[in-house]
Structure 1
Amino acid sequence: MSTLILSLETSSPVCSVALHRDGQLVGQSELRLEKSHSSHLSLLVQQLLDNTSHTLHDLAAVAVSDGPGSYTGLRIGAAAAKGFCYALDIPLIAISTLQALAHQVARYTAQAEQVLFCPMLDARRMEVYSALYTHDGREMLAPAPLILDSDTLAEQLTHHRLLFFGNGAAKFAPLLNTPNAGFLTNIEPSAIAVGELAQHAFQRQEFRDVAYYEPFYLKEVHTTTPKARS
């Protein structure tokens, strides 16, 4: 029996959805509008299902980008994925945003086995969320917030060629002067990569608890309470 998986990627300003059947892309749609996720995600999903002649009841699972990334975006994606899974009684799959980003770059990189892949997501100022992966997705450095300076990842750059990409990579480029650093531009998270990794997770039955799942924010979100008026 074939497996149809819906994937949601909302960790960045790009709102992206995709459908995969047995790991093969059936269709995808995305919207590049700031703060559009809450009002357009469900519409994108329904349009994608309609355009590919499917319904929600055809789904075997829903996959969601797990983070790190935009706090609000991740919350919206998680809420939608959990809602679909709960209503349809199907499994929930969570895929690391950084791993998916590395996967989508590695698959199109020549001699990828000679490179370590370093996605960087902007975390404001000189901080990024980052990790290191091999071409086949093996984690060499766990996801973590990094403060960027000329010594960041110095040991890894001494011994390996690193490829940097994502919306946080551009501010790292001026700090480096080494032939072992390469940079790609205009690489953004995509639901297609989430769906490709989700197929493997589905086969391994790596499912998340629908009731208790929370995205991997990586850092605590700080909120303030408005001062009372005197």
Structure 2
Amino acid sequence: MSFILNIETATKNCSVAIAKNGETVLCKEIAEEGYSHAEKLHVFIEEVIAESGISVHDLTAIAVSQGPGSYTGLRIGVSAAKGLCFALNIPLIAVDTLLTLAAQAKVSDGKIIPMLDARRMEVYSAIFSAGLETERAVQAEVIDENSFQDITETVYFVGDCAEKCKPVLTKENFIFLEDIKYPSAAAMGKISYDKFKISDTVDVAYFEPYYLKDFMMTTPSKKQ
């Protein structure tokens, strides 16, 4: 029997779930503008373990979102996951953030394109089949009226970019699933379990999140 703790903190959604043999048992999450990950994450971890009726020593692995996404969010999630793995001497599994987001779209045909906001008209995106096979790897790209024009199948867009991308991506075969905004740890269960079964793990000491773009510090502009 396998219990995997899944941690997703790459976006505004602070999300933690317990999965038993790939099936999500319990998930706690909250999406707030102020990024409350530092305050909520460890509380959620303790709660999902206790409410699932297991102890921390029953965990067989920890899975964490590897990015792309928020620099701060990813650091908080990965640090927590590493600490638990070291303390419990269990493996660490890295899960593609955009794959987790795509997995929330339960569709039977077409393409799934998860997109996460990366400032202005730029997004982090990838392309998956309805069966979640990767058809184009993660990349940062600027969205305009020519984006994804070569895809003739139905395209399902998920993520937090609908507001800025919907006025530009207007082809008849483009569908925005606007209720799927952020990746959730609840969708990581099968992904992390499949990786666990084939020992697809990462080095706890050396693993780093996949930021995709260099982190940029910004300072408020001074009023003239």
Partner of 2:187: 193
Contact 1:119 1:169 in 2 (8 A): no
**Mapped partners of 2:70, 2:179: distance in 1:** 17
TM-score between the two structures when normalised by the length of structure 2: 0.93
Partner of 1:173: 166
Contact 2:16 2:29 in 1 (8 A): yes
Superposed counterparts of 1:1-230, under 5 Å: 2-33=1-32, 34-105=34-105, 108-109=106-107, 112=108, 114-156=109-151, 159-187=152-180, 188-223=182-217
Deviations 1:79-127 (A, max 9, x none): 000110011000000100101111111xx22xx2x21000010111111
Partner of 2:222: none
SS of the residue corresponding to residue 84 of structure 1 reads helix
Identity %: 42
SS of the residue corresponding to residue 45 of structure 2 reads helix
The amino acid across from 1:178 in the alignment is: K
Alignment length (residue pairs) = 217
**Mapped partners of 2:68, 2:103: distance in 1:** 16
Task: Decide which structure has greater helix share.
Answer: 1
**Mapped partners of 1:64, 1:90: distance in 2:** 13
Unaligned runs of 5+ in 2: 220-224
SS of the residue corresponding to residue 160 of structure 1 reads coil
The amino acid across from 1:220 in the alignment is: D
**Mapped partners of 2:30, 2:145: distance in 1:** 35
**Mapped partners of 1:100, 1:176: distance in 2:** 23
SS of the residue corresponding to residue 154 of structure 1 reads coil
The alignment yields a C-alpha RMSD, in angstroms, of 1.4
